[in-house]
A and B are shown apart, each in its own frame.
Chain A
Amino acid sequence: MNIENTQSQMRKGILEFCILSVIRRGEAYPSDIVEEMKGANLNIFEGTLYPLLTRLKNADMLTYRWVESNSGPPRKYFSLTDKGKAFYDELEATWIELANAVNTLAKKTDSMPDTTNQNPSF
């Protein structure tokens, strides 16, 4: 166990939710998704995004259409399917629950010694 691992585990859990929430607002091109997430101070590599999109697409959560581009090969624009929308709603509910729970707990431990940030190896 180390800090990077825990952090990455935390990020990984919400990654799909974040991507879906960007796409929910309308058709999106992967690099736009990256930009938007960057804007929200959530850095993600495109190399991480593409497999996730493919996986979601293969699970029928997403669909895409080809759009001709003047600066390169045709682009894939992704959008949510009905199944994806349902999936997103569930995730959203879970996230709200989780955020509340975590916030509640984090507030409670405010006065106590901070242990969460400590590297377990030391």
Chain B
Amino acid sequence: MKKIININFQGRVIPIEETAYDTLKQYVESLRRYFSNEDGRDEIINDIESRIAELFSERLKRGTACITDDDVSAVIASIGRPQDFEEQDGGPEGASGTNYQNAQQQAAAGPASYSNVGRGRLYRNADDKIVGGVCSGLANYLGIDPVIMRILFVILIGALFWIYILLWIIVPSQSLQTNITKRLYRNPDDKVIAGVCGGLASYFNLERWVPRLVFALPLIIGLISTSMNAIWWNWDFGFAPRIITGSLGSTLFITYIILWIAVPYASTASEKLEMRGEKVDLNSIRDTVKVDLENFKSKTEKWGQEVKQTAQQFGTNAAAFGQAAGQHAKSFATEAAPIARRAGSGVGNVIGILFKAFFLFIAGIIALSLFGVLIALLFGGMATFPLKNFVLEGTGQNLLGWGTLILFLGVPLVALITWLIRRIMGVRSGNHYLGYIFSTLWVIGLLCCIFLIATFSSNFKTRIPVEDQVNILQPASNKLIVGVKNSHLEYYHGDWFGLRFNDELPIYGMNMDTLMLNTISVKVYKSKDSSYHLTRVRLGRGNNREAARSTAEKIQFNIEQKDSLILLPEGFPISTGDKFRNQQVLIAIDVPVGKRIVIEDAVNRYSWFDVNVNNRRGWNIEFNDYRDDSYSWNGNTEYIMTPDGLKKVKDLDQVELKKGHFKLLIDESNGKIELEGDGEGENKNDKYHYRYKQIEDSIKEKAKDKLRDEIRLKDSIEREKKLKEVIKSTTQNKDRTNEGTEDETLSGSHLFSPVLCFVQI
């Protein structure tokens, strides 16, 4: 019983047996290869194909129903096989007149008869050879130095080479019919990736899922492990599965790649038959081994006797051996010819397979991690189930949320697992219903996701600030301390079903019906009058202005005062009824000039905290994770408001400060601030400061030296004049009030002003 297929051959529809078609295809392919270096290759192939089509047509006209194996064989016999052409056409020596065992080899065979010698085709080099010119030819083919090639060859192939030589000498020679009726092929009819598992299964008479399961086991264990990990954090298989997924997994992976490269693809019918072949059982293996051993024994005995012969006999033996070796070499060459032929494309094949394997590997990793992410999302989604109460609003959004979770994220997961199991079990679905169902469900999930995002984001459309003044008593000590009071709200801090809210999240605590937010920003401004002011701004988002306003107004953020201490809440709670609408609270503290403020370290725990030293320019809340880098604010430090903004008290001249006079204090601090740099020089910018100090010191030293010289030369009155001149020549923004001062340090600090300009440039 044979399957008949219709092929379009040279513009004719020809019914042909499938096996015959395979043979024909193989034959045409072998011709193509044979004529690969011929100029008019396509024309020749076309002519031959036309002729074959003509012969087929004749046969069909005679009433044959279809083209059979015999017909194809007859046609091939008439046209001739590539090795027949060699005989007629005259191929290179050592490559013709050979016995080919099967069509495969014939197809691969065929040395070049007319091609140009050189690159592009692998030849043994006849001119530069040590043994057979193989290395030289390879080197020529690859474009490298033959010497290097030889060294590499000897190093790499050395061991195997000697084993080969040894076997060559020991093992008796005979024309062999292929006695292996079953060969290992990759199975094209039953493949997932490359048919390796399918081939192994038919070779060892196994159910086809067995090798597949073996190769997929690390993957499956990995998947299970990942999902378990996603459900129970820190879930661990322990020692054994690590071995399986780790080293065994990579070993199997490499094994698969090697098999992929080394094992031929059963593309023709005969190869497929060979692949299934005879049943390989223990008995046949034992028999084969037994016979082989006996042969081997007798051969070695015979060989041993030969070695014991006299010198003359040895000489004749050697001659015979030489002759035999010559024949060996010849037959080896003929055997090697098709292999070499293959090797040309083989290198490309190997590279191709490695590339394929690499991409599969990468794709596998991506798929696996996606799978992990999906599982994590699915179970993470369940874990954050209470959180959804703070986010989603109404039945519609809840439904969409569940739809997204189950359909959009869950369905691909189920589909992937189903697909994997089906592939491993070798089930091929006759219909595509399952695929349709999965796709439909997923599309629904996708729509859910889109609608959810759309409705959800519309809830965040508008932002409304609600601003109110908090009445505070002016502290008697002219110092305001801002701290954080401990909340009495109960909440789970840290672990909650494996979810950890750390400082990175604006959420710092939650329980089933309350979510604690600390999206709070504290800003310090310069007061417009002489008293402290505290402004609380609550911001909420919503679908429209009203919703946003009501959200904002619902924020409970009560500020307490104890003398000079202002206590801010740790955060503000949001109930499930309030929903999370990115609520934010801004606390603006106005500090009058000359008065002080201390902000405790605890305030730093708020999600946003910064100090705005400039004059008020409307409210702005910006998420600023890296506040410590851009704002040089120190907690628990006393600051004083100057006309130019906040300054650390300890940075100011304590003596001048203690003089107490308000006006004087400002003047002095003003001068000092200029020296300190452009407003943000709070000793934080170490690099600047250091360089700055260096220049300052060197200029001071120079000024001192100059002054000493003057002192040595002139009397005290002239010295006074000179000093003034020096000050004049080096100072651009000279302070009139300090003109008469003789104090060296002071003049030094004045000298330093132009340097400041320089540094600022």
Contact = CB atoms under 8 A, between A and B. Distances in A.
A5 B79 contact: no
Nearest to B85: A48
Most-contacted residue by chain B among A54, A55, A72, A74 (CB, 10 A): A72
A2 B333 CA distance: 15
Contacts of B31: 47
A46 B51 contact: yes
Interface string A10-32: 01100100000000000000110
B84 A5 contact: no
Chain A: interface residue count, which band?
Answer: 20 to 34
B82 A73 contact: no
A41 interface: no
B88 A50 contact: no
Given A1-B93, A46-B51, A73 B12 contact: yes
B676 interface: no
B88 A44 contact: yes
B34 to A, nearest CB: 8
A113 interface: no
Given A48-B80, A72-B53, A54 B88 contact: no
A82 to B, nearest CB: 21
Give the dominant DSSP class at A's interface. helix
Given A1-B93, A11-B88, A73-B54, A51 B81 contact: no
B10 A73 contact: yes
B712 interface: no
Most-contacted residue by chain B among A15, A51, A75 (CB, 10 A): A51
A31 to B, nearest CB: 7
A34 to B, nearest CB: 8
Nearest to B31: A47
A111 to B, nearest CB: 31
A9 interface: yes
A69 B359 CA distance: 51
A51 B58 contact: no
Contact of A46 (B35, B40, B48, B327): B48
Contacts of A1: 93
Given A48-B85, A73-B11, A58 B58 contact: no
A121 interface: yes
B364 interface: no
Contacts of B88: 8, 11-12, 15, 44-45, 48
A85 interface: no
A47 to B, nearest CB: 4
A8 B86 contact: yes
A75 B54 contact: yes
Given A72-B50, A73-B53, A75-B54, A48 B89 contact: yes
B39 A58 contact: yes
Given A5-B93, A8-B96, A47-B81, A30 B47 contact: yes
Contacts of B89: 8, 12, 15, 48, 51
Contacts of B54: 31, 69, 71-73, 75
Contacts, number: 105
Interface string B46-81: 011011011111100100000000000000001111
B38 interface: yes
Nearest to A1: B93
Given A2-B97, A47-B80, A31 B90 contact: no
A77 B61 CA distance: 23
Nearest to B55: A72
A68 interface: no
A41 B39 CA distance: 30
A51 to B, nearest CB: 5
A18 B102 CA distance: 32
B158 interface: no
A4 interface: yes
Nearest to A53: B47
Contact of A55 (B40, B50, B323): B40
Contacts of A8: 86-91, 96
A51 B35 contact: yes
B352 interface: no
B735 interface: no
Contacts of B97: 2, 4-5
A67 B58 CA distance: 17
B629 interface: no
A45 B84 contact: yes
B86 A31 contact: no
Contacts of A47: 31, 48, 79-82, 84-85
Contacts of B743: none
Contacts of B84: 45, 47-48
Nearest to B10: A73
Contact of A71 (B11, B44, B57): B57
B61 A71 contact: yes
16 contacts: A5-B93, A5-B96, A8-B86, A12-B89, A45-B79, A45-B88, A46-B51, A46-B80, A47-B81, A48-B85, A54-B44, A72-B50, A72-B57, A73-B50, A75-B54, A121-B323
Interface of A: 1-2, 4-5, 8-9, 11-12, 15, 30-31, 44-48, 50-51, 53-55, 57-58, 69, 71-76, 121
Given A30-B51, A72-B58, 11 more contacts: A8-B86, A15-B88, A31-B51, A31-B54, A45-B85, A46-B78, A47-B31, A50-B48, A51-B44, A72-B56, A74-B50
